[in-house]
Structure 1
Amino acid sequence: MNNSYSIKIEWSVVYECIISLYAFIHEKERKHLQLGNAWMEETKKQLPDAFADELADERWEVLHRLVLLVAQSPQKKSVDDFLGWLGSIPPGEIYERLAPWVDTIPLNLGELRDHSVSLLARWNEHYFSKLAPAILASLERSAAEMAKQAQNMSPIELVDHASNGLWIEPVPELREVVLIPQYHCAPTSVLDFYRGLATCLYPVKDAGQAQSQPLTELLPLTQCLADEKRLHILRCLAEKNCTLGELQQQVSLAKSTVHHHVTALRRAGLIRAHYVGSTTVSSYSLRESFVDRLPVLLRSFLHSRK
């Protein structure tokens, strides 16, 4: 087995445009996001009624394939540049660009491309082009900071640090992990695996804020610690790594309930989710750094200005 994989840090406004549309469309995911339904309602007011109605019925499922295409695009300084490039390349070239990574590729690539270009162009016009520049500047700074930290951290540790608890195990077929900062799906990381490649759109929770807000990190952490069952889960993981099934046996709850608890604990950065070559979590472990992090956050919040 290889010791590790290489890390690539990517940044482009195009990634954020794509993931912001993804966050708006996918209602099931939105309840877990920092921006939540309030953002959705405010954003809806910016859209023409016909476009908002269209998005309400949209089942846009090409996020991950588009991320791969953005990574390969020579035109991604702006959303318009990328969409112009994507709209101009033939379906056969799209197939060739995806084929090394994706096992199943739809036959109607031209139709999917045109539909995605249309959605993203209108989304960019009515919402994304009006996004506060400070948010995008924060994401760019995060990418630069991650590139610096990559010089002093192992790839596995860097992914864990960026994602607040995703532990991507090295396997022979995994050659590279691409880290991409994003804001609209925070505190969630969007992870996908391809042949020899994984992409991780990691959260930048305080993007656009003048300074870090300790409450943003402190609140979900303390909310997790205020639940007896979650405390039991943490104690189990302090002893050893556990699968979801093993945790279920330890706490005597339905598997769906245990999954809900570990998802909350992972998003708050209290535990790690271990991945071995796929998006299915293989096991969980305690992220002991939170024990030292908690008093730092609490002290910072108590002494910060309102």
Structure 2
Amino acid sequence: MSYQVKLQISPVYDLLSSLMAYSKCSKAFDLDNQWVKKVRNELDKDFMAEMDSLSLPFPLIALLIWRCPDNSNLDAVTNWLASLTVGEVFEQVSPFLLENVPNDIGTIKNDVISVFTQWYTKYYKDQELKIQKLLSQERDRFDDCLSNLGPQKTIEMFCNGLAIEEHEELKEVVLVPVYHTKPVNVVFDDYKGFLIILYPVEAPEENDLFPPDRLMRMTRALADEKRLRILKILSSGNRSFTDLVEVMELSKSNLHYHLSLLRTAGLISIHHVPFTNQDKYGIRAGVFDDVKQMLERYVFH
């Protein structure tokens, strides 16, 4: 294997993912428009206006968190950022970015400190202990999987079917467990030689009378003719997005929607070749046995 995989656990990454869930308001996230509205009702108008006026560069912010000597808590990260001059921030990120460092990197640094500090106080602080306990449980699972399965299979298991293919320029993949952007993998591939992947961690089910979220995603994904046709096509082998557009005769946006539902349900895999546009989709091995087992476990236990 040409690359290594490492795990980083920090609530600061999840704080970042909560800002992404709030700012992007994607239908792919479990935390939907209703959650955004609820949070907005709890924020003061000045901070909402500040948030609405900014377009935060999330890949750059993830890189800054990764570069921080101590990213175990928000104070450590913001104090480190505050101590850096604009030139020092440039030196921290420029060797790692594929693109040029933004000209307004000093403004970005100040915006990150301001938004992160206020967002933590007004929203995230009340979530931190519960989420940190959830995220910290990933360490033992990661160590066990890595020793038994190796880097690529570990990534595929943790990222629900995301397979990172080898590439001569790829040296390291950093896996980061987060809660707020579940069930989506957020892949930051804006860097030289490595990737940062925010992967989703599910909270334990609180009531066994209700079906698990993963089972609901699976059954919803299967309850559509177009998505079943996609699975049928993929049963004969991996296909590129372009291949699927031609065969399915769907618009690109429509196909993206259906593939997103199949991916977050864990029914299909995506074989991602870093630094290229050569991704291919396939059916995950054994996934239909998983559907059967999860359904039987929920119904009969």
TM more than 0.5? yes
> 1:43-88: CA deviations, max 9, x gaps?
223211221233234322x211121221221232321221111111
* Pair 1:51–1:205, CA change in 2 (3 A): same
Aligned to 2:263: 266
- State the distance in 2 between where 1:96 and 1:147 align: 33
- Whether contact under 8 Å (2:78, 2:113) holds in the other structure is yes
* Pair 1:109–1:192, CA change in 2 (3 A): same
- State the distance in 2 between where 1:200 and 1:223 align: 26
Q: Does 1:237 align with 2:234?
A: yes
- State the distance in 2 between where 1:257 and 1:18 align: 28
Aligned to 2:222: 225
- State the distance in 2 between where 1:154 and 1:211 align: 35
Q: Does 1:186 align with 2:157?
A: no
Structure 2 regions of 5+ residues with no counterpart?
Answer: none
Matched residue of 2:239: which SS? coil
Matches within 5 A, 1:16-165: 16-27=14-25, 29=26, 31-60=27-56, 62-102=57-97, 103-131=99-127, 133-165=129-161
Matched residue of 1:198: which SS? strand
- Whether contact under 8 Å (1:156, 1:167) holds in the other structure is yes
- Whether contact under 8 Å (1:173, 1:196) holds in the other structure is yes
Runs of 4+ off more than 6 Å: none
Instruction: State, as a whole percentage, how many aligned pairs show the same letter.
Output: 31
Aligned to 1:166: 162
- State the distance in 2 between where 1:279 and 1:35 align: 30
- State the distance in 2 between where 1:89 and 1:148 align: 38
**1:229 Cα deviation after fit:** 1.4
Aligned to 2:172: 176
Range with greater deviation from structure 2 (246-255 or 234-243): 246-255
Q: Write the letter of the residue equivalent to 2:283.
A: L
> 1:208-239: CA deviations, max 9, x gaps?
x5699852001111111111111111111111
* Pair 1:35–1:73, CA change in 2 (3 A): same
- State the distance in 1 between where 2:67 and 2:51 align: 27
Range with greater deviation from structure 2 (68-77 or 268-277): 68-77
Range with greater deviation from structure 2 (276-285 or 120-129): 276-285
* Pair 1:67–1:159, CA change in 2 (3 A): same
- Whether contact under 8 Å (2:21, 2:31) holds in the other structure is no
- State the distance in 1 between where 2:75 and 2:112 align: 13
- State the distance in 1 between where 2:133 and 2:278 align: 32
**1:278 Cα deviation after fit:** 3.1
